């Protein structure tokens, strides 16, 4: 998870309102919740704290019921994913009455950031190789191979999620983290290959348990649209995601066929406004 900004911290419930605790760093803010980076239980246990403040525009009892239902639903999905081998943050604690869910902090960068950096790198290196066709093709070929490896991991991760009967609900490259492998070379310096590492799914606030092919296809369609809108020059890479997804579990190819129907409805909706 990566930080984006800091902000004045609202009054939070214990144990996150203690002056002795790590200052909260606001990562992102949505309509329903705020995500902070802080510590929990021990000074070196960093977490992603999802806090759902009380909504004054909702009836008190309704707001409490919705908060409880949403926190428990997200926690249950995360626990199930961990049990079934899907790489997601572990749940460390929650309090539905106070409106918070504490999850493992994932050190790394979003797939969105990684893709943007690598696509820019490829373009810059290709431009400096103008007139040197062989060298330019070599740069593109090597980069494409590494990017396709990353797409393979994305396809397998999403496939495993769907195989266990969970759909994410907000599947974008911003909700896919790359937790990078750090290796120690002979000189004892830590090095990082930018495209190595585990793909970790985050932010399950809209997730649900479903084995419906339609729900799975919509999940893929959301991810496809994310590729098209945020990484238009890499839209072709999404074919690799779908190729690996189609081989990841029994029934995946049926979902890919249903994806065609979802695409068609999406096109008609765009045409009709």
- The CATH number of residue 224's host domain is 1.10.510.10
Residue 146 sits in the same domain as residue 240: yes
List the catalytic residues.
Answer: 170
Residue 63 sits in the same domain as residue 152: no
- Determine the structural domain holding residue 222 and report its residue range: 109-272
Q: Contact, 115 vs 234, CB < 8 A?
A: yes
Q: Give the model's pLDDT for residue 190.
A: 39
Residue 155 sits in the same domain as residue 52: no
Question: Which residues of the chain register pLDDT less than 50?
Answer: 4-8, 20, 133, 135-136, 138-139, 184-192, 271-272
Residue 17 lies in a domain: no
Tokens of 253: 């190819």
Residue 258 lies in a domain: yes
Into how many domains does the chain fold?
2
121: left (phi over 0), alpha (psi -120 to 50) or beta: alpha
Q: Give the model's pLDDT for residue 5.
A: 44
Tokens of 124: 């810059």
Q: Which residues contact 53 (CB under 8 A, 6 or more apart)?
A: 10, 34, 99
């Amino acid at each position: 998870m990566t930080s984006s900004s800091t902000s004045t911290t609202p009054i939070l419930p214990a144990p996150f309102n203690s002056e002795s605790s790590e200052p909260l760093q606001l990562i992102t803010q949505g309509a329903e919740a705020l995500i902070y980076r802080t510590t929990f239980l021990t000074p070196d246990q960093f977490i992603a704290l999802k806090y759902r403040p009380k909504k004054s525009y909702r009836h008190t009892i309704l707001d409490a019921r919705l908060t409880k239902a949403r926190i428990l639903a997200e926690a249950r999905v995360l626990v199930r994913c961990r049990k079934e081998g899907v790489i997601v943050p572990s749940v460390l604690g929650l309090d539905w009455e106070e409106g918070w869910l504490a999850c493992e902090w994932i050190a790394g960068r979003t797939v969105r950031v990684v893709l943007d950096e690598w696509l820019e790198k490829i373009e810059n290196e290709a431009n400096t190789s103008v007139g040197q066709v062989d060298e330019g093709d070599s740069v593109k070929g090597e980069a494409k191979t590494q990017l396709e490896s990353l797409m393979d991991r994305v396809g397998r991760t999403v496939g495993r999620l769907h195989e266990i009967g969970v759909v994410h609900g907000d599947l974008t490259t911003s909700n896919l983290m790359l937790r990078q492998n750090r290796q120690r070379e002979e000189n004892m310096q830590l090095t990082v290959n930018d495209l190595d590492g585990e793909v970790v799914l985050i932010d399950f606030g809209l997730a649900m348990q479903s084995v419906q092919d339609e729900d799975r296809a919509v999940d893929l369609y959301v991810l496809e649209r994310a590729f098209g809108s945020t990484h238009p020059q890499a839209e072709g890479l999404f074919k690799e995601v779908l190729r690996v997804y189609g081989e990841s579990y029994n029934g995946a190819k049926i979902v890919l066929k249903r994806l065609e129907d979802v695409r068609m409805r999406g096109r008609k909706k765009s045409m009709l406004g």
